[in-house]
Amino acid sequence: MSLRNTVRAFPTLLRVGVAEALAYRAELLIWVLSTTMPFIMMALWTAVAREAPVGPYTQQGFVGYFLATFVVRQLTGAWAAWQINYEVRQGTLAMRLLRPISPLWAYAAENLGAVPMRTLVAVPVAVLSVLVVGEQAVPREWWGWPLLLVALLGSWLITFLANVCIGAMSLFMESSRHVMDVWLVLFFVLSGYMFPVKVLPAWMATLVDWLPFRYQISLPVEVMTGVRTLPETLMLLGRQWIWVLLLGTLAVTLWRRGLRRFAAYGG
């Protein structure tokens, strides 16, 4: 589909995505419950910081960090890898491929369609964070707000495109769900989801800076909690969007090559 037609069709795809998210509200609630890890980590790390701060984080710092982590995770989640795996195995991807628009746009719209519902969960937590930790819960400089939106968009794109890359692998191997499991383990450990990257040893923090995971959670959380200067933020955003471009190129390449092998199983 031409870009113009895709842009014209996308609002309808999004609207249908939102309608589907509303239809699956029970499932969404269960997903939200499964993302409460930041609250558990918050309890753990605030206990550790009772005696003395851990790195730059006091008890209150950890509270602000993990509440922001919860909010970022809600707003930037994607599950296209599971969808693609399922549809490749069942052959139902065929029905998407018959339409004159790339299924990747449809997956994007369906994944983004859940954001309004998740915002309903995220906003009260963000308000709670402001009440508990005060101004440290939100950007303190004016530039922090637009850059937070850029960071959240970049984070969603990395998550979604990594999902597409891994999902597209199922077109080469019979199932890539276990690849997704490996990705998730790395994500939990290296993204800042379970602990801030700033508490890592310097050599490891440097390594993490060059991997995509910290741009999924840690960067938006850092921008939200205002712990970075403008030059630092811009540099990290630059790296984040380099990952967006790399993963975008890889996703499109894997997808196109994989489709040549698509067997469209089943009647």
Binding footprint of another protein on the chain (CB under 8 A):
1-2, 5, 8-9, 11-13, 16, 19-20, 23-24, 91-92, 94-95, 97-101, 260, 262-264, 266-267
Query: Closer CB to another protein, residue 35 or residue 92?
Result: 92
Contacts of 214 (CB under 8 A, 6+ apart): 190, 191, 192, 197, 208
CB of 100 to another protein, least distance (A): 4
Distance of alpha carbon 28 from alpha carbon 264, whole angstroms? 29
Query: Closer CB to another protein, residue 95 or residue 230?
Result: 95
Cβ neighbours around 26 below 10 Å, total: 8
Query: Closer CB to another protein, residue 6 or residue 58?
Result: 6
Query: Closer CB to another protein, residue 111 or residue 155?
Result: 111
CB of 165 to another protein, least distance (A): 21
Distance of alpha carbon 255 from alpha carbon 93, whole angstroms? 12
CB of 201 to another protein, least distance (A): 38
CB of 174 to another protein, least distance (A): 9
Cβ neighbours around 43 below 10 Å, total: 12
